[in-house]
Amino acid sequence: MEINNISNIQNQYEQTRQESEQIDAGELNDNLTKLAANNEDEALKAAINDFMSIFMQQMFQSMRNTVPDDGIINGGYAEDVFTEMLDEEISQTGSEQGLFKDINRQIYQQLSGE
């Protein structure tokens, strides 16, 4: 019984993760549509920020895939879920700070024609 519950939870998590990726891409598409329709600077900044957040999340995921997983303690599925959620939160916060803020500014300047 317990194995079936874990399997169901894993399936639900994978489905939710895929839906959240589609939402992120959908939000980015919506922001770009707003930009095309209204040519607003705020919509452009939001789209750039969303892009940088997705970029950072993909970067973290790629970096983690290069690290061997076999250690003394294996967190298993729960650790994978936590790590993915942590990466998402860090990428959303980090896309507005430091070097990424400068990259956002440069992308904005290029796209806005400044």
How do residues 34-63 score in pLDDT, each as one tens digit?
666 566 777 888 888 888 888 888 988 898
* Ranges of each domain in the chain: 2-112
pLDDT of residue 1: 43
Backbone angles phi, psi at 113, to 5 degrees: 85, 20
Average pLDDT over the chain, rounded to an integer: 77
Helix (H/G/I), strand (E/B), else coil: 67: coil
- The strand ranges marked E within 1-114 are none
pTM: 0.58
pLDDT at 18: 66
At 47-103, the pLDDT tens digits run 888 888 888 889 888 988 888 777 677 777 888 888 888 988 888 888 777 788 888
